[in-house]
Amino acid sequence: MKIVETIQEVRDQVKEWRKQGLTVGLVPTMGYLHEGHKSLIDCAVAENDRVVVSVFVNPMQFGPKEDLASYPRDLDRDAAVCESAGAALVFHPEPSEMYHDDFSSFVDMSTLTGGLCGKTRPIHFRGVCTVVSKLFNIVVPDKAYFGQKDAQQLAVIRHMVSDLNFGIEIVGCPIVREEDGLAKSSRNTYLSEEERRAALILSQSLKKGKALLETGETDAAKLRAVIANTLATEPLAKVDYVEVVGWDTLEPVESINGPILTAIAVYIGKTRLIDNFIWQKETR
Ligand code: AMP
């Protein structure tokens, strides 16, 4: 496995693979890899001849008061995870390699990005769409892999690929959780022992929501209420949002008919955590 820092090295390597007729998968990450990321790499390795993992903490998707500086980084460990999972190339650029001084072009989206995480993170998806477009143009993969953990991001990327005619298949992968239910996240490392225990309330509240849907409930307000009431039992939890939206539009729904996304964002202390589930009536 190679680790490279420049766009040219990625292009040269992919060109070489293409000459050999090999297929290429891309897994974009911000590093500090865990089992969730590894599940994406595993899936990519199973479906492509060669896999590129990008490890880049993208400054453009962080707001001025967010955790860009403190975001955890450990390239050696990340490289070991990628190698053991069977990736062929790690792309780890410096911000200056991705954004030269006079960088001034952005990919923005007028739907899907205003609600959910877009409310508290107004510039986030512009940063995500821009960096993912750049990665798509640099690697030109056949397939790219994204986690349902960031469900809004997955929907936004799928929409962008359709709007801008990227000839790339987007593969969504299920949420990987700790044994006790907490969704794996690089940001879980911020949690103190007490906060880590409190963070369980996210997955527990969603579980209660799912249980309600299993009784045949179709009222979205009742679903939101059961989740919000459960979150309210945890003193360390401060709710950012509890939303029930259509999985295609990401707009709030009143009654649950088609596929819906139930998504939450909750501060545990200073750490903002997200979790969700997608529900399709017919597959329950
Ligand atoms: P990040 O490094 O947080 O930008 O995440 C990189 C990719 O890994 C994104 O597509 C995430 O959705 C995905 N990912 C992060 N955590 C998980 C998880 N617990 N399960 C599945 N995918 C995940």
- From atom 10 of ligand 1, which residue's Cα is the shortest distance away? 146
Statement: residue 284 has pLDDT above 60: no
Per-residue confidence band for 281, with pLDDT thresholds at 50, 70 and 90: confident
- Which amino acids are annotated catalytic? 37
For residue 282, what pLDDT is reported?
A: 67
Q: Coil, strand or helix: which one is 23?
A: coil
Identity of residue 35: E
Q: How many CB atoms lie within 10 A of CB 162?
A: 10
Yes or no: say if 39 and 75 are a contact pair by the CB < 8 Å rule. no
183-203 residue pLDDT tens: 999 999 999 999 999 999 999
225 — phi, psi (to 5°)? -65, -45
Statement: residue 106 has pLDDT above 60: yes
Distance 172 CA to ligand 1 centre (A): 10
Q: Could you tell me which of 127, 118, 130 has the C-alpha nearest to residue 164? A: 130
Distance of alpha carbon 213 from alpha carbon 60, whole angstroms: 38
Pocket residues: Cβ below 6 A from ligand 1: 29-30, 36-37, 39-40, 146-147, 149-150, 173, 175-176, 183-186
220-251 residue pLDDT tens: 999 999 999 999 999 999 999 999 999 999 99
Positive or negative, the Cα torsion across 119, 120, 122, 123? negative
State which ligand 1 atom lies nearest to the alpha carbon of 175: 20
Statement: residue 88 has pLDDT above 90: yes
The tokens for 42 are: 């595993």
Proportion of the chain above pLDDT 90, given as a percent: 98
Can you list the domains of the chain with their CATH numbers? 2-173 (3.40.50.620), 186-276 (3.30.1300.10)
The count of C-alpha atoms lying within 13 angstroms of the C-alpha of 194, restricted to the half-sphere facing its C-beta, is: 6
Distance 213 CA to ligand 1 centre (A): 26
In what side-by-side order are the strands of the sheet with 89-91? 2-4, 89-91, 50-55, 24-29, 143-147, 169-173
Q: Which of 33, 35, 40 to mutate to test the pocket of ligand 1 (most atoms within 8 A of CB)?
A: 40
Distance 13 CA to ligand 1 centre (A): 25
128-177 residue pLDDT tens: 999 999 999 999 999 999 999 999 999 999 999 999 999 999 999 999 99
Q: Could you tell me which of 169, 163, 174, 166 has the C-alpha nearest to residue 142? A: 169
Q: How far is CA 112 from the centre of its chain?
A: 15
**Contact residues for 214 (Cβ-Cβ < 8 A; gap 6+):** 284
Q: Could you tell me which of 136, 145, 138, 141 has the C-alpha nearest to residue 163? A: 136
Distance 146 CA to ligand 1 centre (A): 7
